[in-house]
Structure 1
Amino acid sequence: MNTLAWRVIKWAFIVVLVGMAIHTPVTVFVESRWPDYELLAKSWKEIVLGGVLLLLVWQAWRAGKLSELLRDKFVIVTALIAALHVVLLLAFDNSYVSELAGLLIDLRYYLLFVELYVAARLMPGLRRPMLMAAAVGCAVVIGFGVLQATILPKDILSPLGYSNETIKPYLTVDLNDHYIRINSTLRGPNPVGAFAVLTLSLLLAWTAARRIALRGMWQRIVWAGGALGSVIVLYASQSRSAWLALVAAAGALLVGILPKRTALYSVAGLAVVGALLVGGLFALRDNPTISHLFFHSNPAGGSPEKSDQGHWTSLQHGVEAAANAPAGEGIGSTGSASLLSHSPVIIENQYLFMAHESGWLGVVLQLLLFGLVLIGLWCGRRDWLLLGLFAGGVGLALIGLLLPVWVDDTVSLYWWGLAGLALGSSAMIKPYGQHKKRTRHQKAKRTT
């Protein structure tokens, strides 16, 4: 498997995982200075993944594994999702540019998932370099986020082209400059918070698996630095959905690690504490600090429409659109892709976002794939990577109720890509072509 084609595939994955950590600053820089190359700068990763797909198909065909791959449940469901999107492109007459952008946004993380899944099954030893590449990317995002939250000026990203016309260098809580929300190297505070939840889930799962082996000084330094940095970034993002997601991810980790009875009591206790905390926050909502942090409302003024009102309005519109259009409104009809058309629509719910783009059938297929992936991760939870991704997936699924979490390319590519890698390289799943041999037990001949 150490052929030139496989080396190209491996390095292409590394470039994507590391490159996504700085993707947003680079694209903003290009967009602000050379707008004619904006589309190319934003779609470089999709171009790379398209080339990887061709190489993978070729390598699978040469190895005689292509027919077996085409019968795999993950490959089949992913192919059905892609086929539905192609049909919808033909069925609806939306703006060409918005359709292209929507197609890339909707399918890129599924493409990376199935590519890393197949590559890990066909290429032993892929897991370690991919995890190292992901660790480098996480270090960049979390490390810069910590600096942005502590010592760097709040508008440090402005010289790169961050502005009201591209991406704001930072946000505030309801127009209050005393409550800064950082972007790090992602597209906004909410994606940064979601990314921190994923990082913390993996670190906690890694610690649980290596709690005895984690005795070396450097291991402790790396873990403590990563965990502390992720907590700082999570707080500085001021993302309430990410805070809730961390609680959900922690509960999923407890269920995966502890014995059933202990896990049940722990989750029940976590729910009780959470309910008491929510009740206390509502009782103290007139406190300025509580109002800013947990309700994103500035008692001294702020924006005319508060954050919670915007979420509620978007939810109502999304439900109404999904009910009135069972087949959806077509690819590129909502989100950032729709901003390229004459009728932009913003829906702040991942599942209603799917329904608006691909209809009820699209939602069913995508939730089916997501469910299959979570089940696969749960079944392999003795592996820390699968456990961490399962917990992180639970948290990100919760964020999806409040925000289109998969629209952010870094968050979606990291979770789905690592999930494909984990499932493909899991020791609980036999490599392609290796089947359990049946043995026949012949009856001993009776001797007389």
Structure 2
Amino acid sequence: MKEEPQDIKNQKVASWLLGACLLIIILMPFHGFISTWLGSNFGYLLLFKAWKELLLVSIVAACVYLLSSDKSLRRYLFSKDKKNLIILIGIFITWQIMSAIVGGQNAKAVALGLAIQVRWGLFFICCLIAVYYRRLSQSYIQKLVLIPAFIVVGFGLLQMFILPHDFLTHFGYQKNITIPPFFTIDEQLDQIRIASTLRGPNPLGVYLILPITFLISHFSFLIRKKSRSNNIPYFIFLISTLVVLYGSHSRGAWLGMIMAVGVMLVLWLPARFRILLISVGLGLVLLASAGIYQYKNTDFVQDVVLHDNPEEGGEVSSNEGHVDSIKSGIKNVVSRPLIGCGVGCAGPASFHNKNGAKISENYFIQTAEESGLVGSMLLFAIFVMVGYILLQQSKNNSMLVPLLASFIGVSVASLTAHAWADDTIVYVWWGIAGFVMYNKTNNEQKNDKNKEKIKVSIKKTITSKS
């Protein structure tokens, strides 16, 4: 059957769409480094930082065009298994826009706050549309996750063991101007936290949860296949990634990683072993807690685990700062519980707010501050639905096991940081999710399109006869 001119045009737009989505996912792990370097050399730092949002506008426009011209795509996107999630995301985005309008924050804070809250949903849907026209194989997805992570981990190892701590000053890194060239634990210069090519240690640590889960999944696959020759490179990569995760000293990321690995074990193990696994896990938690309490006065525990060394740290410890931030965030939610104080009034965007920054160090509290309990409940409903879909589909698609585990891991890390507000984490995770959550086989896609073409030809025949 000869393709219609409109079909050819749609294919060209879809090819550009997929390429643009892939470009964002590939470059985002290096976005902090690249934008800082280019911005410090050529100026226009804000423009270099906003390149992916500008590209996202074009991506959304391409998706709108495809939806308006391709009836089969509309049926696919609003089919029974996707409709509820798409509608929920649409309602959440609409509520965020309304919150931005009535919030009364300044334009810069609103623009950044709105980008933070809507980009993940828009990018997810756009990636979902992109793979409707061209399926990506599991090996391709795996490379998409692991190759950029390999570079991030490699540079992280250089930071830990070879490079001077202020090396990134040569690339425009400046504290309070762009990105600090180095980070510390409680302002101690002998306790450096690495950030690799990301914006900070916490984003680095949380980002690594995704490649760690993919590496563990692939490593277990090789073990089951008894392919010993291929085990060693992946094992070295996994150990190196864990070392860099440790070097970030991101405790929230550590907790998220432990939770992610636990989820993978629960999904893989037979039901009769799950209770044993949970019991062993609780036992290890109690043992670790007892060990921390026993050695609480040692430098290692105070610096690395507690981030609170009374002899060397600042006046306010990291833990005290976390607690105060969360308390302040909860008070802000209570003061305006229904609709919040408006997008841009809290979280990273609030640094541009004339009323001062409101940093709760918790993404979910940030959302409740900005868009009230309504926005928070919508977000919770979306996350529960995404988790449920991943859980159900993981039974037939092994690629979704590490994706589900990392989703839970990043969400746990978001309880102590604005992880889901970080651009690298959002674009990479939600982009990969859009590619694989509903990824049909090539035959299924061809059958859908052939059925649609047959229906169109039948309608034309009936119309011509009448």
State TM-score, norm by structure 1.
Answer: 0.91
2:308 is aligned with 1:302:
no
Structure 1 pair 85–433 and aligned structure 2 pair: CA distance change class (3 A):
farther
- Deviation of 1:180 (Å): 1.1
Q: Which residue of 1 aligns with 2:433?
A: 419
Answer whether contact 1:380 1:426 (CA < 8 A) is retained. Answer: no
C-alpha distance in 1 between matches for 2:35 and 2:198: 11
Pick from 379, 382, 385 the counterpart of residue 372 of structure 1. Answer: 385
Q: Which amino acid aligns with 1:167?
A: I
C-alpha distance in 2 between matches for 1:74 and 1:120: 17
Structure 1 pair 375–422 and aligned structure 2 pair: CA distance change class (3 A):
same
Q: Which amino acid aligns with 1:410?
A: T
Q: Which residue of 2 aligns with 1:201?
A: 213
C-alpha distance in 2 between matches for 1:301 and 1:125: 51
Query: Helix, strand or coil: the match of 1:339?
Result: helix
* CA root-mean-square deviation: 2.3
C-alpha distance in 1 between matches for 2:220 and 2:52: 34
Equivalent runs, 1:332-351 vs 2, <5 Å: 332-343=344-355, 344-351=357-364
C-alpha distance in 2 between matches for 1:10 and 1:132: 16
C-alpha distance in 2 between matches for 1:414 and 1:378: 20
Query: Helix, strand or coil: the match of 1:21?
Result: helix
Q: Which residue of 1 aligns with 2:418?
A: 404
Equivalent runs, 1:220-235 vs 2, <5 Å: 220-235=231-246
Answer whether contact 2:21 2:431 (CA < 8 A) is retained. Answer: no
C-alpha distance in 1 between matches for 2:439 and 2:38: 37
Query: Helix, strand or coil: the match of 1:125?
Result: coil
- Deviation of 1:47 (Å): 1.6
C-alpha distance in 1 between matches for 2:244 and 2:440: 31
C-alpha distance in 2 between matches for 1:380 and 1:339: 40
Equivalent runs, 1:42-441 vs 2, <5 Å: 42-68=49-75, 69-70=77-78, 72-125=83-136, 129-165=140-176, 166-213=178-225, 215=227, 217=229, 219-326=230-337, 327-343=339-355, 344-382=357-395, 383-425=397-439, 434=448
Answer whether contact 2:363 2:419 (CA < 8 A) is retained. Answer: yes
C-alpha distance in 1 between matches for 2:389 and 2:181: 39
C-alpha distance in 2 between matches for 1:345 and 1:351: 13
Structure 1 pair 128–47 and aligned structure 2 pair: CA distance change class (3 A):
farther
Answer whether contact 1:373 1:419 (CA < 8 A) is retained. Answer: no
Among all aligned residue pairs of Structure 1 and Structure 2, give the percentage whose two residues are the same amino acid. Answer: 27
C-alpha distance in 2 between matches for 1:256 and 1:180: 36
Q: Which residue of 2 aligns with 1:440?
A: none
- Deviation of 1:423 (Å): 0.5
Structure 1 pair 333–432 and aligned structure 2 pair: CA distance change class (3 A):
farther
Structure 1 pair 364–432 and aligned structure 2 pair: CA distance change class (3 A):
farther
Query: Helix, strand or coil: the match of 2:184?
Result: strand
Query: Helix, strand or coil: the match of 2:223?
Result: coil
Answer whether contact 1:314 1:347 (CA < 8 A) is retained. Answer: yes
- Deviation of 1:276 (Å): 1.4
Q: Which amino acid aligns with 2:268?
A: I
Pick from 29, 33, 42 the counterpart of residue 25 of structure 1. Answer: 33
Structure 1 pair 167–214 and aligned structure 2 pair: CA distance change class (3 A):
farther
2:13 is aligned with 1:5:
yes
C-alpha distance in 2 between matches for 1:216 and 1:415: 30
Q: For each residue in 1:285-314, what CA deviation from the matched residue of structure 2 results, as whole angstroms up to 9, or x when unmatched?
A: 011111111111124221100000000000
- Deviation of 1:403 (Å): 0.9
- Deviation of 1:229 (Å): 1.8
C-alpha distance in 2 between matches for 1:288 and 1:124: 52
Q: Which has the higher helix share?
A: 2
Structure 1 pair 426–372 and aligned structure 2 pair: CA distance change class (3 A):
farther
- Deviation of 1:126 (Å): 6.3
Q: Which amino acid aligns with 1:99?
A: V
- Deviation of 1:321 (Å): 0.9
Structure 1 pair 126–328 and aligned structure 2 pair: CA distance change class (3 A):
farther
Answer whether contact 1:288 1:299 (CA < 8 A) is retained. Answer: no
Query: Helix, strand or coil: the match of 1:301?
Result: coil
- Deviation of 1:389 (Å): 1.0
Q: Which amino acid aligns with 2:61?
A: L
Query: Helix, strand or coil: the match of 1:178?
Result: strand
Structure 1 pair 176–244 and aligned structure 2 pair: CA distance change class (3 A):
same
C-alpha distance in 2 between matches for 1:431 and 1:310: 52
- Deviation of 1:432 (Å): 10
C-alpha distance in 2 between matches for 1:208 and 1:126: 19
- Deviation of 1:411 (Å): 1.3
Answer whether contact 2:29 2:198 (CA < 8 A) is retained. Answer: yes
C-alpha distance in 1 between matches for 2:199 and 2:227: 37
Answer whether contact 1:174 1:306 (CA < 8 A) is retained. Answer: yes
Q: Which amino acid aligns with 1:53?
A: V
State TM-score, norm by structure 2.
Answer: 0.87
